[in-house]
Amino acid sequence: MPNTKIAIIGGGVIGGGWAARFALAGHDVAVFDPDPEAPRKVGEVYANAEAATRRLYVAPLPSPGKIRFAESIADAVAGVGWVQESVSERLDLKHRVYAEIQETLDPEAVIGSSTSGFKPSELQQGSKDPGQILVAHPFNPVYLLPLAEIVAGPDGDPRAVAWAQKLLRGVGMHPLVVRQEIDAHIADRFLEAVWREALWLVKDGVATTEEIDDAIRFGFGLRWAQMGLFETYRVAGGEAGMRHFMAQFGPALKWPWTKLMDVPEFTDELVDLIAGQSDEQSGMHSIRELERIRDDNLVGILQALKAKPWGAGETVANHEKKLRELSFAGAEVEHDLSAPLALHSATVLPEWVDYNGHMTEFRYLHVFGDATDAFLTWLGMNAEYMAGGRSIYTVETHLRHVAEVKEGRPLSVTTQLLGHDEKRIRIAHVMREGDGGDVLATAEHMLLSVNTAESRACPLVAPVTERLAAVAEGHGTLEAPDFAGRAIRAV
């Protein structure tokens, strides 16, 4: 199942999120939705997704795929390898959509449903190829949250599950294969329980919508974001662990604390009460403003988790590593070794600027450090190289801030090899605005080959030495930059 063209059927919040996730990962996407407003809605989702994704990943992103709007389901699914169905939660509608999809779809392709509640056996009823259909349930916003629940059901095709895992990991997601089908899968069953209890708390006048949200976002929601449920409770058990926690708090489960099996009647009064409280809580923001606030907060949380890496942050970190490796694949063919290497680009993010609106001092080093990492990766200092007990450290740095750098400005960095011996590499970076624009800053670095086990300098080895020799031959004809080797002096 090698085809990576994607079709999205249904261009609402979830469908639009899927379209953005796939397109930003480099896949061409065809969207079908009869709503004439679908192009606008998907376009707005994509704009938010692009901004958030560029903030989330430091590694260069692939060239985005194209999103086109198809005139029919048949037009959308022709020649694709994956179809993501995101239509309304009506089983009869989904059955009609699947029948129409399968009239045109390649038999080797897979249909993933975004359904939050239906089991795959229900989706597959009446299908001419049940094994082609599985559940691929995401969480909003699809372009940021990594989880996708994969449920194949008893008639599922193991090849379809394997393809789903490979495809979704390739776009930075965490495919969770649910071992047996069940209503609402796994995650939404927890959400349903919390939702039921929240409705009772509002109906009974115990809490408002804002107070309930505060209880979650200032308390256990922060713990759940990085440890989930059972690991959180294991920690709560102290040194005695989970067994102690179960013994201490298990009896409380018999107390009538919750109303999980009872649902308050959805009367007009209850709907008005909740809607009114929600308007008071959040009505000062438009939906698009709330989405951007949500995205900014999620990016911050995911970046904090990525630094560990832990939980969803590990998924982000692994995907970023793959992005970096892919960005330098075939570099010996793509780059002219008679000119400085263009290996890194970035955009000045809002959190990079100070009270003057200028990029802060340490972000210059951040960008140049990423450029150095890009150069070392290009040389061949990958996981395999470092697994041999070797790495390359920066031991000396000289920076010049040439011009003001403001928020939103595109940056590109070129790298020139100034010289090397068996243990050392000397390089110079030039940061410009965009491709070939004005010089904004320069840097010179001395790098040292290190035996990481013994913490001492050691000779460089292949493939780094081979790539260095090739670069040295090309860059040896270049003049050294006028800033190279100069100390700070009075002007």
Task: For residues 323 and 374, give the distance between their C-alpha atoms in angstroms, rounded to a whole number.
Answer: 11
The chain-wide mean pLDDT, for the chain, equals: 90
Question: Is residue 109 predicted with pLDDT exceeding 50?
Answer: yes
DSSP three-state, residue 69: strand
**Where do runs of H (alpha helix) occur along 437-489?**
464-475
Say if residue 401 is in the same domain as residue 458: yes
Q: What is the pLDDT of residue 331?
A: 45
Whether 77 is covered by a domain: the verdict is yes
- pLDDT tens string 160-203: 999 999 999 999 999 999 999 999 999 999 899 999 999 999 99
Task: For residues 82 and 109, give the distance between their C-alpha atoms in angstroms, rounded to a whole number.
Answer: 6
Whether 148 is covered by a domain: the verdict is yes
Element (H, E) at 233: helix 230-236
- pLDDT tens string 468-478: 999 999 999 99
Say if residue 44 is in the same domain as residue 127: yes
Q: What is the pLDDT of residue 330?
A: 45
Say if residue 354 is in the same domain as residue 234: no
User: What is the share, in percent, of the chain residues with pLDDT greater than 90?
Assistant: 67
Question: Is residue 488 predicted with pLDDT exceeding 80?
Answer: no
Q: What is the pLDDT of residue 446?
A: 96
Task: Report phi then psi at 414, rounded to 5.
Answer: -110, 150
> What's the predicted TM-score (pTM) here?
0.79
Say if residue 130 is in the same domain as residue 170: yes
Task: Report phi then psi at 40, rounded to 5.
Answer: -65, -45
- Tell me, what CATH number does 401's domain have? 3.10.129.10
- pLDDT tens string 135-162: 999 999 999 999 999 999 898 899 999 9
Tokens read off for 429:
């970076």
User: Can the peptide bond before residue 463 be classed as cis, meaning omega within 30 degrees of 0?
Assistant: yes
pLDDT band at 341 (very low <50, low <70, confident <90, very high): very high
Task: For residues 300 and 402, give the distance between their C-alpha atoms in angstroms, rounded to a whole number.
Answer: 30
C-beta atoms surrounding 401 within 10 Å: 14
User: Can the peptide bond before residue 141 be classed as cis, meaning omega within 30 degrees of 0?
Assistant: yes
Q: How many CA atoms lie within 13 A of 118 on its CB side?
A: 25
Whether 404 is covered by a domain: the verdict is yes
Question: 415, 426 in Cβ contact below 8 A?
Answer: no
Whether 305 is covered by a domain: the verdict is no
* CA nearest neighbour of 392 among 400, 401, 380: 380
Sequence-distant (6+) residues with CB within 8 A of 205 are none
Say if residue 173 is in the same domain as residue 205: no
Say if residue 26 is in the same domain as residue 171: yes
Whether 417 is covered by a domain: the verdict is yes
- Tell me, what CATH number does 238's domain have? 1.10.1040.10
Say if residue 150 is in the same domain as residue 274: no
pLDDT band at 248 (very low <50, low <70, confident <90, very high): confident
Say if residue 55 is in the same domain as residue 26: yes
Say if residue 278 is in the same domain as residue 367: no
Question: Is residue 451 predicted with pLDDT exceeding 80?
Answer: yes
Q: What is the pLDDT of residue 280?
A: 92
- Residue that is last in its domain, among 123, 147, 177: 177
Say if residue 32 is in the same domain as residue 107: yes
Question: Is residue 244 predicted with pLDDT exceeding 90?
Answer: no
For the segment 393-419, the average pLDDT, to the nearest whole number, is 93
More confident residue, 485 or 398: 398
Question: Is residue 489 predicted with pLDDT exceeding 80?
Answer: no
pLDDT band at 490 (very low <50, low <70, confident <90, very high): very low
Task: For residues 7 and 18, give the distance between their C-alpha atoms in angstroms, rounded to a whole number.
Answer: 10
Whether 23 is covered by a domain: the verdict is yes
Question: 113, 136 in Cβ contact below 8 A?
Answer: yes
> For the ranges 34-43, 88-97, 220-229, which has the lowest average pLDDT?
220-229
Question: Is residue 2 predicted with pLDDT exceeding 50?
Answer: no
For the segment 244-253, the average pLDDT, to the nearest whole number, is 76
Question: 209, 200 in Cβ contact below 8 A?
Answer: no
Question: Is residue 3 predicted with pLDDT exceeding 90?
Answer: no
Q: Supply the range of the domain harboring residue 433.
A: 332-475
Q: CA 27 → CA 18, 23, 170, 411, distances in Å?
A: 11, 5, 10, 25
Question: 83, 7 in Cβ contact below 8 A?
Answer: yes
Tokens read off for 151:
């449920």
- Residue that is last in its domain, among 143, 177, 211: 177
Task: For residues 372 and 445, give the distance between their C-alpha atoms in angstroms, rounded to a whole number.
Answer: 9
- Which of the residue ranges 56-70, 130-144, 352-366 has the most confident prediction, judged by mean pLDDT? 130-144
- Tell me, what CATH number does 95's domain have? 3.40.50.720
Say if residue 120 is in the same domain as residue 154: yes
Question: 146, 176 in Cβ contact below 8 A?
Answer: no
- pLDDT tens string 251-263: 766 777 677 777 7
Question: Is residue 333 predicted with pLDDT exceeding 60?
Answer: no
Q: What is the pLDDT of residue 110?
A: 97
Say if residue 440 is in the same domain as residue 422: yes
For the segment 84-105, the average pLDDT, to the nearest whole number, is 97
Whether 295 is covered by a domain: the verdict is no
Sequence-distant (6+) residues with CB within 8 A of 274 are 199, 202, 209
DSSP three-state, residue 267: coil
Q: What is the pLDDT of residue 50?
A: 93
Tokens read off for 41:
């809605």
Q: What is the pLDDT of residue 449?
A: 95
Question: 129, 105 in Cβ contact below 8 A?
Answer: no
* CA nearest neighbour of 409 among 437, 431, 433: 433
Domain count, the chain: 3
Q: What is the pLDDT of residue 334?
A: 60
Task: For residues 381 and 325, give the distance between their C-alpha atoms in angstroms, rounded to a whole number.
Answer: 11
Q: What is the pLDDT of residue 435?
A: 86
Question: 341, 372 in Cβ contact below 8 A?
Answer: no
Element (H, E) at 419: strand 410-420
Q: What is the pLDDT of residue 307?
A: 86
Whether 159 is covered by a domain: the verdict is yes
- Residue that is last in its domain, among 177, 197, 217: 177
For the segment 16-24, the average pLDDT, to the nearest whole number, is 97
